[in-house]
Amino acid sequence: MRNKTTYACQSCGHQTARWLGRCPGCGEWNSLVEEAGVVPQKTARGIAGSGPVPVTEVAAAEEERYSTGLGELNRVLGGGLVPGSLVLVGGDPGIGKSTLLLQAASAMAGSAGRVLYVSGEESVRQIKMRAQRIGALYPDLLLMAETNMAMVEKAIEEVAPMAVVLDSIQTVYHPDVASAPGSVSQVRECTGILLRVAKNKGLPVFVVGHVTKEGTLAGPRVLEHMVDTVLYFEGERHQTYRILRTVKNRFGSTNELGIFEMRGAGLAEVSNPSELFLNQREQPVAGSAVVPSLEGSRPLLVEIQALVCPSGFSVPRRMTSGVDYNRVALIMAVLERRVGLRLSAHEAYVSAVGGVKLDEPAADLAIALAVASSFKEQPLQENLVVLGEVGLTGEIRSVAGMDKRLQEACKLGFKRCLGPPLDKQTAALGIIDYIGVQSLQAAVETAIGR
């Protein structure tokens, strides 16, 4: 019987019987590619189970986790690697995904048991060169260069490793699927095989995924739905620091952050990232404010810098880096309306130092004071951190995790904190000299002056 040909969208996986210029599922143009149907297998295998069981009769057990040997990776995974989990790691080309997973694989091979590292992009000699550079030479670290998913599954059966790394999902193919590697059908089929192997054997599996030029994971969105955890490895290629961010995690928080430094011998963990983001801050200057941000359970002190200058154009230019553009525009409108700063004829440039991205509302007050400081050309008070959410009426709202933020600021040597009024429980801690303000105008007058 002749296989039925369909057209599948390479962005969302939507299938149609004929080619269309625009995908009906996601609206992308020219994303439909012709694919042959999947040849039905003789024996269909699924995840092993014992049938429906009442939730009250399921035996509860302590959550077991494996250490990856990297504390920052353990943090973003929620405390370690859960047996049977499927973890997807994405990032720009050359950012360090393969180096990160090879270091984790070598650490697990040196302490826990056999680890199988499968690469569809490099030969075993090329992987050995990287392993020598980062010191990942362990006999229990098994290397394999293969793109046939059936051969990879067979190797897992024969070797019986305690963990598997596949680099990458876009390079492998299954012979029963008559489409090219990286297509929607191949990615879905190969990921399904890895998911079944992981669940049936209780085997943690790492999968590397390519990203598009927009920065999203390549392939259908079903790939992110099938896996248990999605991690993004971020950073500028001309900088040495890398940030590992959790996007999805069935076994932990999605707000955790891991920070690494790229060195000649591989990735080194950054134990105190606050010092990293403030290492070149010496004397107070106009347009600078420090905010104690909270990423998951980790407090980070980040410097916000702003530059405000008169514009020679009818529409002033506004640019941001590391902070949301629309949020900055909103805060500048509140400054002009509620505080009286005439910013409509001025250009504004706002940046979060160190390449970190801040998207929590606690950074609102720091952005506002940095812009006001640059506009007035007066620095903020020395040894001062600021935090708080700014409302449209100019009020300063409270944020979560005040005790952790204040402890981190005190540890880094800051003497005062400006923010919303504290509750009685946090105020009783007496961690730092705290100044509570109700409005943005009062905050500007306190930190900068009239």
CA–CA separation, 274 vs 284, rounded Å?
17
- In tens, the pLDDT along 170-193 reads 899 999 887 888 888 888 889 999
pLDDT of residue 411: 86
Please give the average per-residue pLDDT across 104-123, as a whole number.
93
CA–CA separation, 221 vs 230, rounded Å?
12
Residue set of the binding site? 91-98
Of 63-67, 225-229, 234-238, 328-332, minimum mean pLDDT range: 234-238
pLDDT of residue 165: 96
pLDDT of residue 18: 86
pLDDT of residue 1: 41
The third-level CATH classification (topology) of the domain covering 66-271 is Rossmann fold (3.40.50)
Please give the average per-residue pLDDT across 37-65, as a whole number.
67
Band (pLDDT 50/70/90 cuts) for residue 218 is: low
Most confident of the following: 63-67, 114-118, 419-423: 114-118
128 phi and psi angles, rounded to 5 deg = -65, -35
Beta-carbon contacts of residue 204 (< 8 Å; ≥ 6 apart): 66, 81, 82, 83, 84, 85, 86, 87, 162, 163, 164, 198
3-class state of residue 370 by DSSP: helix
Please give the average per-residue pLDDT across 225-243, as a whole number.
85
Domain 276-447, CATH class in plain words: alpha beta
pLDDT above 70 (res 280)? no
Q: Considering the chain, what percentage of its residues have pLDDT values greater than 70?
A: 90
CA–CA separation, 103 vs 262, rounded Å?
12
Vertex 264 angle, CA 230 and 234, to 5°? 25
pLDDT above 80 (res 358)? yes
**Is pTM beyond 0.75 here?**
yes
pLDDT of residue 43: 45
- In tens, the pLDDT along 414-438 reads 989 999 998 766 665 677 899 999 9
By the 8 A CB rule, do 231 and 246 touch?
yes
pLDDT of residue 278: 77
Please give the average per-residue pLDDT across 118-138, as a whole number.
93
Residue set of the binding site for ATP? 91-98
